[in-house]
Structure 1
Amino acid sequence: MSERDDLEREFDIRWADEAVHKEPSARARMLAARWKENPPEPVPFRAEADRRGPRRSSWVSTAVVLGSVAVIIVLLGYINFRASY
């Protein structure tokens, strides 16, 4: 009986996916109603960069992380080297 239920469910899903008209979700309906009265302002595709600091700050962060990893690797190698004697 489980197989039959699965086949019926699959049929229902195919039938629903092939529907010509699909009802929008509750969130889509809510936003449409809200935007009808008060449309949103246009937003640029890419917002302007924050001018608090130069762009290379991400490079500094990357260098600090990679440097820390390198120091840990060297430290572990040194400890292993000392333990072998």
Structure 2
Amino acid sequence: MSERDDEEREFDIKWADGAEHKEPSARARMLAARWKDNPPGPVPFRPDPAHRGSSGRSSWVSTAVVLGCVVAVIVLLGYIDFRPY
């Protein structure tokens, strides 16, 4: 592409972005038509902190428990391998 084509393309993008009326996408039109008669219920972006888990522990505690179990298995396997018969 020549430099002239790049300038014309940039002009077209600026012209399109500056339009007063922008047509919604096909998906937006489809959802608007669907929700006109049957609107969706509210859906929170993130759950309430009270509903995070049964115990409310943070994720680092779970990570520590998993890593502790892995270390215990490694130590147990090492003990079994070095045990005299």
1:9-53 Cα offsets, whole Å, 9 max, x none, are 0000000010000111111111101001111112346434155x2
Q: By how many angstroms is 1:65 displaced?
A: 5.9
RMSD: 2.7
CA distance in 1, matches of 2:37, 2:62: 45
Aligned partner letter, 1:16: A
TM-score, normalised via structure 2 length: 0.62
CA distance in 2, matches of 1:20, 1:46: 34
Give the aligned partner of residue 26 of structure 2. 26
Q: By how many angstroms is 1:2 displaced?
A: 1.2
Q: Structure 1 pair 18/29, CA: closer, same or farther in 2 (3 Å)?
A: same
Aligned partner letter, 1:42: P
CA distance in 1, matches of 2:38, 2:68: 51
> Across the two proteins, how many residue pairs are aligned to each other?
68
Higher relative contact order (CA 8 A, sep 6+): 2
